[in-house]
Amino acid sequence: MRPTNQKPKSAALLGLAFDNDDGHTRLTRGKNFVLLGGSQETHSVMQETAVKINEHLDRRRKRLDDVSVNELRDICHDVADSIGHDQQRGSDPSNR
């Protein structure tokens, strides 16, 4: 049982990008995420990634607050692979 003065655990994704050359300020808020900055392309990739992470969580019937760091890392890798933005993990499977 949680003491009454302790706040419940909360988690959110924060996306920041700095490749903006067109002078636009991009900000997107959604279910458990905030995305700021970037070019139009980069910001779109961040949006797609955040939405797909939430879709994965919904399919698992979990909230971001409930997943471990390792589970979130696996979800992020799955999402990156599915949208074709394989991050440079190299060939070493221990990087996953």
Q: What is the DSSP letter of 6?
A: S
Residue 60 above 60 pLDDT?
A: yes
- Model confidence, pTM: 0.76
Q: For 62-92, what is each residue's pLDDT tens digit?
A: 999 999 999 999 999 999 999 886 544 443 4
Per-residue pLDDT, 1: 57
Q: How far is CA 15 from CA 3, 38, 43, 45, in A?
A: 32, 9, 9, 10
Judged by DSSP in three states, 34 sits in strand
Stretch 36-56: mean pLDDT: 96
Mean pLDDT of the chain: 86
Percentage with pLDDT > 70 across the chain: 83
